[in-house]
Amino acid sequence: MLTASVEVRVRYGETDKMGIVYHANYLTWFEIARIELLDSIGCPYKSLEENGFFLPVLSCQVTFRRPAHFDDLLRVVVVIDESSSVRIKADYEVFRDDELLATGKTTHAFVSGEGKVVRPPRSFLERAKQSS
């Protein structure tokens, strides 16, 4: 199990006329947490792409419990459970202090520059194993 957590401060442009955060932005925050997790195991996503490995989103899901507002300081926690298989599954929780605002999931697969599903790069597998 791999985990990471990031702080995100809500940007003004992330709100909508309902006065709360526009729902699609949670997916962006999930991604920031994912990127941080890869950084934390010594496997930055930028380097993965430079080596020809891409990690597109195959599916995503968000459940909204309470709204987030402009300038809120949020904590986004990501957990990746099955890093050794072709399909990477990530779970997310978004908190404001101790209050759980949203939960979510994304699934991913490593693909080549041509869009073919490939096995995760060895460096990722090794670092994921060491960090678990």
Helix (H) / strand (E) element for 67: namely none
CB of 129 to its own copies, least distance (A): 24
CA dihedral 10, 12, 16, 19 (to 10 degrees): 80
Q: How many other CB atoms are found less than 10 A from the CB of residue 116?
A: 9
Q: Which residues bind its own copies (CB under 8 A)?
A: 11-13, 15-20, 22-25, 27-28, 31-32, 35, 44-46, 49, 54, 56-64, 67, 70-71, 115
User: What is the C-alpha R_g of the chain?
Assistant: 15
- When the beta carbons of 1 and 86 are compared against its own copies, the nearer one is 86
CB of 126 to its own copies, least distance (A): 22
> Is residue 16 a contact partner of residue 22, using CB atoms and an 8 Å limit?
yes
The minimum distance between CB 69 and its own copies, in angstroms, equals 8
Q: Which is nearer to its own copies, 20 or 125 (CB)?
A: 20
